[in-house]
Copies of this chain bind each other. A is one copy, B any other.
Amino acid sequence: MSSVTLAEYLFTRLVKLGVHSLHGPTGLRWVGNANELNAGYAADGYARIKGVGALITTFGVGELSAINAIAGAFAERAAVVHIVGTPSRETQDQRQLVHHTFNDGEYRRFSQMASHVTVAQTRLWDLEPSPAQIDEVLQQCLRHSRPVYIEIPVDMVDQPVPVERLGRPLDISPLPPVSCSKVVLARILDRIYAAKRPVIVVDGESRPMGILGQLQRFITSTQWPFWTTAYGKGLLDETTSNCHGVYRGRFDSPEVQAYVNGADLVLYFGPHLSSTNTFSCSAIPRDELAIYISDTAVRIGQELFRDVPAQHLLVVSDNAHQRIPRLSSLTLSEVAGPSPITQDHLWRLLAGYLRPGDIVLGETGTAGYGVREMALPRHSRVFTPVTWLSIGYMLPASQGAALAQRELMMADEYQGIRNARTILFIGDGSFQMTAQELGTIIRLGLNVVVFVVNNDGYTIERCIHGRHQAYNDITRWRYLQAPQLFGGSEKVYTASARTWDELGGILTTDQLWNESGLRMVEIVCDREDAPSGPLVEYLQRQNSV
């Protein structure tokens, strides 16, 4: 019986799942992020593009530094495998007082902490069951699209295990229909056939549910009007005439609000009803109109049917719909002039420069709201704050996403696209949190364009509370010097704009859009400038007090 080491077993499983890069702080392995939190964020970004990602850290210090990223992956459903290297079994059995512990011989605290933010945990302590333990947690990781935790004592890494089991694929097939599935399907069909004015909402949990292909066909064949949430944005083709962008609830245009409120059926796929994702809950349809189809249940009005697999419910129908506003881009000529750049127009202008397959990231803050307004070309993906909202996440996530994108393009598994880019929009305050990950982007030569929206502090916090609070001010950095500090060549493209004309000059520069590697643009905005919507309303509320 041929064998592999336990580590090879685990890594082979990961490679078969498409994980070709492991994130971790330098000092451990491979991608070499500047620190563990950033590595966790990067693994999350990678996972959202490729389906699953992995992170290696040391126990104690390393895993706790990364735990906020793991928690974010849990909240927003990224399948991240967190591998933790622990001391030898002998060291642990003897309760030795080694470094990275609390000097008390207790080694089990960290996994207990991890159990709050992962869907499965395992400790590879006995060799014989270890391969099955690995398989089980990886299956949980994929089924739930949430992080899992694997502890490997250092003396287990090179132990041999039989190779045969690797031939057996992981079991991640969907559950069979439960007994109530037919009833639920009939109820849904009744509502569909009766609907005079149906609408569809695509929310972000449609991705971990694995129904995007079916959903795309359903939407194409019904031609029903559909909206997404921020979380659902970019998951389906948004170039078709029945796509109307992100539904913004009471912040949307009167026509759109009237249309959605006048619907007689809202089919809501993959619901994730957090306040940020639903424009302070105002984008949640009334119970009597809605059918929510999630991975664990279908809810029709107030009735909840558990464990109905969504795959069995997506049926085809036809319908017509009225004219409803769609997202539009702006051109340079519409904004040109020496006046300051403002976010009411910025995002629709920038949308015109996107290209199929681009990955667009908008960090928590004004950028996170801004990207919701951008009309997307096909096969684009969007990262925008949904629920976890960990400021600092997006820069390392852009590294992970760009790496995943490059791997997919090179393997010709990216819709035939080979020239897509990763474009990060980030505020100055957020940039400071995890700026050093630019160094990893530079070292890996990833195709990333970074726009730093410099509004001199935490504008989103100024909007929500503390318009004039000193704690929303930050150290003023010279942002465009960052590529040089972090090891970039002198040819890295950088530019700064305060006016529409200056921005126009930059956006028409070929180097910005068509070079490879890192490019970086600073856009200077007023401290209290924000995209239209909730942030502007919050600001006005403070101004009126």
* A474:B32 contact, CB within 8 angstroms: yes
A487 at the interface (CB under 8 A from B): yes
A392 at the interface (CB under 8 A from B): yes
* A274:B97 contact, CB within 8 angstroms: yes
Report A's interface with B, CB cutoff 8 A. 24-30, 32, 34-35, 37, 60-61, 64-65, 67-68, 71-72, 74-75, 96-103, 109-110, 112-113, 116-117, 272-276, 385, 387-392, 429, 432-436, 439-440, 442-443, 457-458, 461, 470-479, 481-482, 484-487
How near does chain B come to A410, taking the closest CB pair, in angstroms?
20
How near does chain B come to A445, taking the closest CB pair, in angstroms?
12
How near does chain B come to A191, taking the closest CB pair, in angstroms?
25
* B392:A35 contact, CB within 8 angstroms: yes
A30 CB contact (under 8 Å) in B98, B116, B471: B471
CB-nearest residue of chain B to A443: B475
Task: Give bound CA distance, A429 to B35, whole Å.
Answer: 9
Contacts known (A64-B67, A68-B61, A71-B60); A442 close to B27, Cβ less than 8 A = no
How near does chain B come to A340, taking the closest CB pair, in angstroms?
23
How near does chain B come to A73, taking the closest CB pair, in angstroms?
11
Q: A26-B474, A481-B484 are in contact. List 10 more A-B contacts (CB 8 A).
A: A26-B432, A32-B474, A61-B390, A61-B391, A64-B67, A65-B68, A67-B113, A97-B273, A103-B273, A479-B485
Q: Offer 9 A-B interface pairs, CB within 8 angstroms, sorted by A.
A: A26-B458, A35-B392, A61-B388, A67-B113, A71-B102, A99-B387, A443-B475, A476-B487, A482-B485
CB-nearest residue of chain B to A116: B109
CB-nearest residue of chain B to A475: B439
State how many copies of this chain the complex holds: 2
A432 CB contact (under 8 Å) in B273, B439, B481: B439
Task: Give bound CA distance, A109 to B391, whole Å.
Answer: 20
CB-nearest residue of chain B to A472: B27
Q: Which residues of B contact A37 (CB under 8 A)?
A: 37, 65
* B61:A27 contact, CB within 8 angstroms: no
* B97:A461 contact, CB within 8 angstroms: no
Contacts known (A26-B429, A96-B275, A481-B484); A440 close to B475, Cβ less than 8 A = yes
Task: Give bound CA distance, A486 to B26, whole Å.
Answer: 23
A26 CB contact (under 8 Å) in B24, B112, B471: B471
Contacts known (A64-B68, A434-B35); A477 close to B487, Cβ less than 8 A = yes
Task: Give bound CA distance, A16 to B319, whole Å.
Answer: 71
Q: Which residues of B contact A74 (CB under 8 A)?
A: 102
Q: Which residues of B contact A24 (CB under 8 A)?
A: 471
Q: Which residues of B contact A385 (CB under 8 A)?
A: 99
Contacts known (A67-B67, A486-B477, A487-B478); A472 close to B26, Cβ less than 8 A = yes
How near does chain B come to A1, taking the closest CB pair, in angstroms?
30
Task: Give bound CA distance, A24 to B98, whole Å.
Answer: 30
* A475:B487 contact, CB within 8 angstroms: yes
* B272:A388 contact, CB within 8 angstroms: no
Q: Which residues of B contact A472 (CB under 8 A)?
A: 26-27
CB-nearest residue of chain B to A154: B465
How near does chain B come to A453, taking the closest CB pair, in angstroms?
16
A486 CB contact (under 8 Å) in B30, B101, B473, B475: B475
Q: Which 7 A-B pairs have the closest CB atoms?
A: A64-B68, A439-B475, A61-B390, A35-B433, A65-B68, A481-B485, A443-B475
Task: Give bound CA distance, A91 to B32, whole Å.
Answer: 40
